[in-house]
């Protein structure tokens, strides 16, 4: 009888230690920041006078994107731009300047949709004349 009581006591103590091992670390740690899910389609940050420069593998600018305002939406990981201005550089060729009233960056920053009075200008290149184009909407692949 004494031997079986010892077995039961040891088993109870081991089970209590097991429960404490699992429960205690979770009970003592409080989260550093309590994240609350935001409302759908709400921006998580806004940047004014936004400028980003993408560089080539050789360390030269590929493009410079500027905007009066950038508003990022985490739901679809896209950003809305007001008054975007894009300058694209190709080695040995004149830069291409594109401007619009609004823009949207999406596809993990790989695409830019410019809308509203879109203007594209390119300087003269060798025998090719300078060019200008206007449109309502233009999709640009950035990478």
Superfamily holding 45-141: Lipopolysaccharide (LPS) transport protein A like domain (2.60.450.10)
Per-residue pLDDT, 24:
62
- pLDDT tens, residue by residue, 96-109: 999 999 999 999 88
Per-residue pLDDT, 132:
93
Per-residue pLDDT, 32:
52
Per-residue pLDDT, 128:
78
Per-residue pLDDT, 42:
85
- pLDDT tens, residue by residue, 117-138: 999 999 888 877 889 999 999 9
Ramachandran angles phi, psi of 97, nearest 5°: -105, 125
> Which neighbouring-strand residues pair with 71?
46, 80
Ranges in the chain, pLDDT < 70: 1-3, 16-20, 23-40
DSSP code at position 38: P
Instruction: Provide DSSP, 107-142.
Output: TTTTEEEEEEEEEEEE--BTTBPPEEEEEEEEEEE-
| For the chain, domain boundaries | 45-141
Structure tokens at 121: 């200008």
Per-residue pLDDT, 63:
94
């Amino acid at each position: 009888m004494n031997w079986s009581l010892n077995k039961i006591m040891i088993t109870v103590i081991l089970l209590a230690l097991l429960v404490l091992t699992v429960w205690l670390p979770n009970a003592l740690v409080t989260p550093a920041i309590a994240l609350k899910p935001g409302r759908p389609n709400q921006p998580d940050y806004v940047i004014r006078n936004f400028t980003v420069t993408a560089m080539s593998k050789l360390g030269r600018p590929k493009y410079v994107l500027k905007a009066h305002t950038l508003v990022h939406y985490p739901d679809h990981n896209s950003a809305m731009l007001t008054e975007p201005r894009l300058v694209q550089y190709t080695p040995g060729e004149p830069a291409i300047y594109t401007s619009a009233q609004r823009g949207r960056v999406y596809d993990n920053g790989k695409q830019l949709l410019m809308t509203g009075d879109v203007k594209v200008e390119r300087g003269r290149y060798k025998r090719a004349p300078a060019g200008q184009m206007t449109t309502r909407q233009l999709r640009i692949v950035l990478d």
